[in-house]
Each structure stands twice: as structure tokens, then as C-alpha cells.
Amino acid sequence: MSFIPRLSYSAQLLPYSNPTSSLQPIGVFTSSQGAAEEHAQQRLETWRSQLCSSQDDKSGLLLLLLDFRKEYRGWNIQHDYRATCSGLIGRSWAMVFAAGGFKVKLYDIAQQQLTSALENIRKQMKELEASGFLKGSLSAEKQLALISICTDLKTAVEGAAFIQECTPENLELKKKIFGQLDLIVGDNVILSSSTSCLLPSKLFTGLKHVKQCIVSHPVNPPYFVPLVEIVPHPETDPSTIERTYALMKKIGQSPVKLNREIEGFVLNRLQYAVISEAWRLVGEGIISPTDLDLVMSDGLGMRYAFIGPLETMHLNAEGISNYCERYREGMKLVLNTFGPVPEFSGETEQKISQAMSEKIPVVPKHLNARREWRDECLTGLAKLKKQMSSN
């Protein structure tokens, strides 16, 4: 199975219930990273150059238009989503929305990027269908028929109501993109970013449509990992949060709402806490890198695939209060022994790098094969979780 880029779960295609009402399109919007990783930096420099030196609307962005109609919670919408397709994140968004019956239009300044994206999506959908893991109720061919391409930004954005940006993690680039979008979108459009670490206040402050701005951070690969962190700007309107949340639920994601922005959001704060202690334990010679990973994959990870740390506490005693009564002193004792934040360099980096490279050589062939294996595992786990939740 090929690597599936970032996206989520399926949604059912529903009939448009009121053809006489006024419709507002919705969209997901992003930029393209290039089909091959080795071209990523070159593409980034191209975008930066174009965005900084030209007023041309063709700003290196790729988007998807999804045409799907339904009256939802009193909000008549024509789902017109825009997202990256030549980059991993955008392709995955495209696949998820198409699985939900949305008509998708991809935008980029480079025709070849769009062509490559479509070829990549076709290959992945066909493989998923053959293995029985294609999302949605439509066949691969019907989903693929929903996807087309566009090379004009104004045409692509016209009428959209939800725009999802998926460019690389570069603040300057993203601010330029949202600055351009701010000039051409209407007052009902949601401007959303896929950023994993940039605070909304750094991305959106100063935009006239700041109340319509939000972060919708997916998890890699989102086609099988459905979590989306919804993070508001301090000035984001509550309706923007609720509409984004409802939209992500609609396409089968598992959205969570943060009440305010914080560095790293929630997922990466938890992830970095684990990585930090893992790094210290290996660096202090307590355990080998490979055994450290086993502690998670064959230990904590087995539980965390189905329940979180708080529910784990709840079930490991007679409720949270009983857990705290039993273990609070032990937890505090252990936590007080944690060391400072590691530098993530030097001897420990070399030690971990050597161990990981012995297991998975740092060459495309081996890395891609392991990623494919990872995604096959996630596919099976997603199917199992779905079966269990329906029982």
C-alpha cells in the first residue's frame, strides 16, 4: 500500500434538501509541497519569491473544491472545500472529502504538480479499494470523478466558505497567503490553517477577517488518524469554532476544541513530553533506544490506542479520586526526578540515530517501506476500532 497523506474518515453523500434557498459554498484551501521530498525546499523558495515580489494571484497554492449540498443545523451550504493536493497533507484532505461525496477542485501554479497529485490519489484510492479500506460509500472511480484541477486562484476561491491552508511550517509564507486571502474572501468565509505549531495570534493578527480565522491541525496520516485540533485566535468568533467543529465531524474527523491557544497545542505538548523523557532515559543509559520504543508500542501504546491517560487513571483504580489517593505521592516523587529539557543533540542524538538507522536505514527505499507498513497497521487498527464502536 502506498503512503497515505494526512486526512480523515468518510461521510455519506446526502441529497440537497432545498434547491430554492440561497447557498454558501464551503471550502478547504492549501498549498502544494511538491510530489517529491527533495523538491520541497525549492518549491518553498519559489512560493516565497512569488508571494513577496509579485501581486499575482497564482501564489503557489493548491486547492480543492468540493461540491456537496445539505441543510445542516439551519445552515444551508454547498460544500466547496479547498486543500493541498500535491503535498502530502493536501492530498489526504482531498481523499477524505472525496470519500464524503464532495466535488474537489485542486489548485496550483504548476500544472505538473496537479497532474502528479491526481495520479498519486488515483493510485492510493485504487489500492485502498482493492484492500477493502477505501473510505466512504462511493467507489474509487466515483470519488476520483469528483476531483478536478484549477490554475487560477481567484476563480478557485470565488464563492468558497471554508478555506484550509496546508503550506509548509513557515510563518512568513503562511502570513503572505492569509494576507492575500483576506483581500479576496467574503465575510462568511472561514480561513483555517493546518499548522502544527504556529499560534493563531502569529498567523492571523491584523487581518480584517480575523474573526473568521482558526487553526484546524490534523494528525499524520489523517486518512487513518482522524484527530483534528481546533485552535482559535483570541478574536475568533464562537460561530467560527462551532462551524469548523461541525464540518470536521461531518467528514468523519474527531475534532477537539481548545479553549485558547497555547504553544504546541495539545497533541504536540503531550508528544513532546513523552519524547523528552524518552530522550533522557536513553541519554542516561537507563534503557536502549529499541527497548524504549517497545515500552510504548507494546505497553502504553496498547492502551492509548483506545483510551487516553485520564481514562486510564480512572480504570486503573476505583475512579480518578481513588487513583490520586493511591498514587499522587508516587507520581510527584517520580516527576520531581525529571531532568531539564534535553538539547536533542550530541552523544544521545548519535546513539538514538544509530539504533534507529540499524532498524530502518535512512534511505528512501527503507523509510518508505516502513511508512507503508505503518499505514497498513493504522488501516487495520482503524477498521478494528470502527468495528468495536459499532458493536
Instruction: State how far the Cα of 159 lies from the Cα of 91, in Å rounded to an integer.
Output: 22
Residue 177 confidence (pLDDT) above 50: yes
Residue 1 C-alpha cell reads as: 500500500
- pLDDT tens digits along 272-288: 999 999 999 999 999 99
Model confidence at 33, pLDDT cuts 50, 70, 90, reads very low
Residue 6 confidence (pLDDT) above 70: no
Query: Which of the pair, 161 or 208, is modelled with greater confidence?
Result: 208
Residue 173 confidence (pLDDT) above 80: yes
Tell me the mean pLDDT in the region 206-229: 93
Nearest Cα to Cα of residue 177 among 148, 146, 198: 198
Nearest Cα to Cα of residue 181 among 161, 201, 151: 161
For position 87, what pLDDT does the model report? 67
Query: Which of the pair, 262 or 90, is modelled with greater confidence?
Result: 262
Residue 293 confidence (pLDDT) above 80: yes
- pLDDT tens digits along 311-355: 999 999 999 999 999 999 999 999 999 999 999 999 999 999 999
Residue 299 confidence (pLDDT) above 70: yes
Model confidence at 178, pLDDT cuts 50, 70, 90, reads very high
Residue 30 C-alpha cell reads as: 492549501
- pLDDT tens digits along 248-258: 888 888 999 99
Instruction: State how far the Cα of 251 lies from the Cα of 308, in Å rounded to an integer.
Output: 23
What DSSP string runs through 31-85? E---SSGGGHHHHHHHHHHHHHH---S--SEEEE----EEEETTEEEEE-EE--S
Q: Across the chain, what does the average pLDDT equal?
A: 79
Report pTM.
0.78
- pLDDT tens digits along 350-378: 999 999 999 999 999 999 999 989 988 99
